[in-house]
Each structure stands twice: as C-alpha cells, then as structure tokens.
Amino acid sequence: MTPDHSPGPAGGRGGPLVVTEDEGLLDDVLRLCAAAGATPEVAHGVARGRSPGWASAPLVIVGADCAPRLCGAGRRDGVVLVARGADDRQLWRLAVALGAERVLVLPGGESWLVDRIADAVEGVGPAAVTVGVIGGSGGAGASTLACALALTAARAGRRTVLVDADPLGGGLDVLLGGEKEEGLRWPAFAESRGRVGGGALEEALPRLHSLRVLSWDRGDAVVIPPQAMRAVMAAARRRGGAVVVDLPRRLDEAVVEALAQVDVGLLVVPTELRALAAARRVAALIRTVLPDVRVVTRAGPGPDSGRAAELAPEEAARLLGLPLAGELGWETGLPAELARGAPPGANARGPLRHFGTAFWGRVLPGAAGSGAGRPGNAGAVAAGSGAAGSGAAESRAGGPVPGGSAAGGSAAGGWRGWLGEGVGGGPGEG
C-alpha cells in the first residue's frame, strides 16, 4: 500500500484511511471527508496483508473494488465497506470476510458516513450531562443559577459549555463579565445545518472562567433557527463533560430542539404565591417535551424584607407536582459581587456554590458521592435533597396567607385551595 500522507486536524487523531482505486467513489468519499472536517489518508494501491495506516487510522473506508484483496488484512474495528450503485449479496459476503462494521451504498448513506467520519476523527465518547435551567417566574434567578452551575462544574475540572438559549435575557457573557471577550456568538451559528464539529465549536466560543460560553452579541437578532439549535447543542454535548443551558419561559421550535437534548430540567421557583402560580404553567409547558423536570426553590431575603410569606421547599414542590432538587438560599452579597465583576457562585461559602457542588456530586459520573452510573443519569439527583440548599435561610416570615393560614410548611391550606390539588403527586412522583 502506498498512501499519500496528509496531516490530520490540529490536535486531532488524524483522518480516516481511504482504500479504493475507483476514481468516482474516491471523489465521493473525499467530498464527504471535507464535509466532516477531516483530512483523509488515501491509499492508491493495495497488497494482501497488513498495510501502513491500517492499524493506526481512526476509521478505514474500503471501496468495494479493493475489498477482495484486503480480506487477508489484520482484523480491526472501525472498517466501513463502501460501494456505489445497488446493494447485493456479494457486498455482504465481502463485509463479513473483511470484518466491516457496516456496508454503505452511496449516495443513500452519505449523511451517516459524514457523522461517522467526524466521530472517528474527534474521538467521541459518552455525551455530556446536559442540564436545562428555567425560571418558573420572572426574576426567579435562572440565569444566575445556570452560570453558577457551569462554573462549579468547570472548577471541578469538567469540560463545560454554557449555552444561552434566551435571546431576550441580556446575555450570559455580560453576567459573567466577558461581553468584550473575543469569540463567536449565536448570530454566527444561525445558518448552521447538519453537523457542527465539537472541537471546532469549542475553539470558536469565548473562554470565560475556565468554561466555554455561547451567548448573544449586542445586535438585534432574537431568533435561533431550530436546525441551528439542534446542530450546536449536539456539538456541545458530543465531547462529554457538562453542558448547562439557560432556557426562556416559552416554547418555540428552537427551545423544543434544546429540550430534546437536555437530560434534566431545573425549574427555579421563588416560594411565593404568584411565583408558584406562574411556575405551574411553565412546568406544564416544559413537561410536554422534557419529562424530567425538578424544582429548585429560591428563598427570599428574610423576614424584614416586606416580601410575601413563603412555603417550605417540600410543600412548594408538592404543590407543583414535581421532585425537589433542593433549596437555593438567599445570597446577601451577590449584587455587590456581580457589580465588582465576580461571576455567580464565586463565593465559596455562598448558597450558589454549595448548591452546584451538591448537584454535580450527584449527577456527574465519577464525582465524589455520585450515584450516577453513566452520563445523562440525572435521576441520581435525590428528590428533596436539602443538602443542595446549604446556606438557606431557616426562618420564614409569618403572617396571613390566602385562606387565613399561617405561613409555614405545615399550614398551607390557603395555598392549596388557591393553586388547586389536581397537579399530580408529591415531590417523589412526576
């Protein structure tokens, strides 16, 4: 075998080995390699037995014209037999003799082959654990929690991507103090179709506080095409680690595409009457697409703030008919920290950092105390995990609530009557 050696992508595993003497088939395969962002090694002649590049290439694409002469080569994984025209029994016999993982007849299998080439070159492993954060009401603090979760995962040494899927939210890069940082924003991906390379995406995004952030520029664009959301989310997840998505409180085609790739949703709910009423509507909407939605209750600033009386986190989750992921305590110094340029969760003793540490400890594979056996097993987050709310205010304001009940976890008859009881079971159901 006399290959033409070409360097693979920088930092990558090198391109696939293409073995064919059919010029038309070679043109097709080279075009598909270009679409996958891979630089192949082409073998123009073959000899029986093990050949240079056969064992080391991440993928071997063998043309049907050369397959009979390669049947004596050493067996290996990642061999695809490719032909043009009609499928026939001879192709399958050659595939068995060659040990090929798949028989592909072009042009019908082009999309699959592009993905397979890109996966082989990128060295794709298990998908990232993907968490969507949604505000149950306006001003619930979902963007702040999304940033804190992403930063906590990155500080733990996990590859982390933070995706701002809310074009009307003001920009997570601004919240992180990186609005002037160089890198691509959403408008640059508006025309994305098909497959986006995971490595290319990561290198193109701004790097803020050890994580990659996809946010918005300061232009007027407010729409993410659904196909662009699908392609970008798939690329962000493909290289493993953690992906956190800040989601809007509405359901358009782009949000549906994002939710389709989310493992668990966190609904951030201040424990106030109007917030709970709004959160019920948001939860009903989101659960039409994402089955696993959990509640994060957010405590108020304290009894002297003049705010409405609060429910216990467990009672709020029960009224919403959703599992409780934990309570997020009030972080008194947060506005001042943000004004100084510190990102959410920077305070090592604050509730945001405590919540993020406890959450990822239950969700991420290999994390200390993790019950997750594999990425995406967000069910490892224990319902009602009060530990996640470390730092939460213990006292709640007294006083009347609708129906004349006193505030507190055991006296919520007025809340129940106002919100209704027909929303499902307790925190462990749903």
Model confidence at 49, pLDDT cuts 50, 70, 90, reads very low
Q: What is the mean pLDDT of the chain?
A: 77
Whether residue 150 is found in the same domain as residue 229:
yes
Cα distance between residue 220 and residue 229, in whole Å: 18
Cα distance between residue 81 and residue 429, in whole Å: 48
Distances (CA, A) of 164 to 20, 149, 176, 388: 45, 13, 12, 24
Token pair for 279: 């959160």
Whether residue 206 is found in the same domain as residue 57:
no
Model confidence at 161, pLDDT cuts 50, 70, 90, reads very high
- Cβ contacts of 233 within 8 Å, gap of 6 or more: 130, 163, 243, 245, 257, 258, 261
Whether residue 31 is found in the same domain as residue 101:
yes
Domain assignment present for residue 327? The answer is yes
Residue for token pair 């467990």? 314
Whether residue 47 is found in the same domain as residue 93:
yes
Helix (H, G, I), strand (E, B) or coil at 239: coil
**Which has the higher per-residue pLDDT, 428 or 44?**
44
User: What are 183-202's pLDDT values in tens digits?
Assistant: 999 889 888 777 787 888 88
Highest mean pLDDT among 141-150, 168-177, 404-413: 141-150
How large is the C-alpha radius of gyration of the chain?
Answer: 26
Whether residue 51 is found in the same domain as residue 169:
no
Inform me whether the pLDDT recorded for 428 exceeds 50: no
Whether residue 226 is found in the same domain as residue 340:
yes
Domain assignment present for residue 156? The answer is yes
Name the DSSP class of 165.
-
CB 198 within 8 A of CB 243: no
Average pLDDT over residues 152-156: 91
pLDDT the model gives residue 88: 78
User: What are 12-30's pLDDT values in tens digits?
Assistant: 567 899 999 999 999 999 9
Cα distance between residue 272 and residue 279, in whole Å: 10
Name the DSSP class of 14.
-
Whether residue 315 is found in the same domain as residue 228:
yes
User: What are 56-69's pLDDT values in tens digits?
Assistant: 888 999 999 888 88
Among the listed residues 209, 213, 158, the one whose alpha carbon sits nearest the alpha carbon of residue 184? 213
- Indicate the residue among 92, 123, 154 that finishes a domain: 123
Whether residue 172 is found in the same domain as residue 69:
no
User: What are 66-76's pLDDT values in tens digits?
Assistant: 888 888 777 88
Token pair for 213: 């952030």
Average pLDDT over residues 309-326: 87
CB atoms within 10 A of CB 306: 9
Residue for token pair 């940033």? 147
**CATH number of the domain where residue 167 is located:** 3.40.50.300
Inform me whether the pLDDT recorded for 342 exceeds 60: yes
Token pair for 205: 């995004």
Among the listed residues 335, 375, 397, 395, the one whose alpha carbon sits nearest the alpha carbon of residue 175? 335
**CATH number of the domain where residue 77 is located:** 3.40.50.2300
Average pLDDT over residues 362-370: 61
Model confidence at 405, pLDDT cuts 50, 70, 90, reads very low
Inform me whether the pLDDT recorded for 54 exceeds 60: yes
Cα distance between residue 153 and residue 269, in whole Å: 22
Inform me whether the pLDDT recorded for 377 exceeds 50: no
- Structural domain of 165: 129-362
- Indicate the residue among 72, 90, 123 that finishes a domain: 123
Domain assignment present for residue 26? The answer is yes
Domain assignment present for residue 420? The answer is no
CB 130 within 8 A of CB 378: no
Which amino acid appears at position 188 of this protein? A
Model confidence at 303, pLDDT cuts 50, 70, 90, reads low
Whether residue 208 is found in the same domain as residue 110:
no
Total domains present in the chain: 2
Inform me whether the pLDDT recorded for 2 exceeds 60: no
- Indicate the residue among 304, 329, 362 that finishes a domain: 362
Cα distance between residue 408 and residue 401, in whole Å: 10
Whether residue 166 is found in the same domain as residue 23:
no
pLDDT the model gives residue 103: 92
Element (H, E) at 151: helix 142-155
CB 265 within 8 A of CB 134: yes
Domain assignment present for residue 372? The answer is no
Whether residue 181 is found in the same domain as residue 252:
yes
CB 150 within 8 A of CB 162: yes
Pairing of strands 211-214, 207-208: antiparallel
Which amino acid appears at position 45 of this protein? G
Domain assignment present for residue 398? The answer is no
CB 176 within 8 A of CB 208: yes
CB 146 within 8 A of CB 172: yes
Cα distance between residue 85 and residue 390, in whole Å: 64
Model confidence at 139, pLDDT cuts 50, 70, 90, reads confident
Angle value at C-alpha 244, between 241 and 250, nearest 5 degrees: 150
- Cβ contacts of 80 within 8 Å, gap of 6 or more: 59, 60, 61, 62, 100, 101, 102, 104, 113, 116
Inform me whether the pLDDT recorded for 239 exceeds 70: yes
Pairing of strands 129-135, 242-247: parallel
Across-strand partners of 208? 211
Whether residue 164 is found in the same domain as residue 116:
no
pTM of the model: 0.68
pLDDT the model gives residue 429: 36
pLDDT the model gives residue 13: 62
Domain assignment present for residue 27? The answer is yes
Inform me whether the pLDDT recorded for 398 exceeds 80: no
Highest mean pLDDT among 44-48, 288-292, 339-343: 288-292
Residue for token pair 């009423």? 277
Average pLDDT over residues 119-142: 86
Window from 47-56, 246-255, 292-301 with minimum mean pLDDT:
47-56
Which amino acid appears at position 330 of this protein? W
pLDDT the model gives residue 307: 54
Domain assignment present for residue 307? The answer is yes
**Which has the higher per-residue pLDDT, 232 or 306?**
232
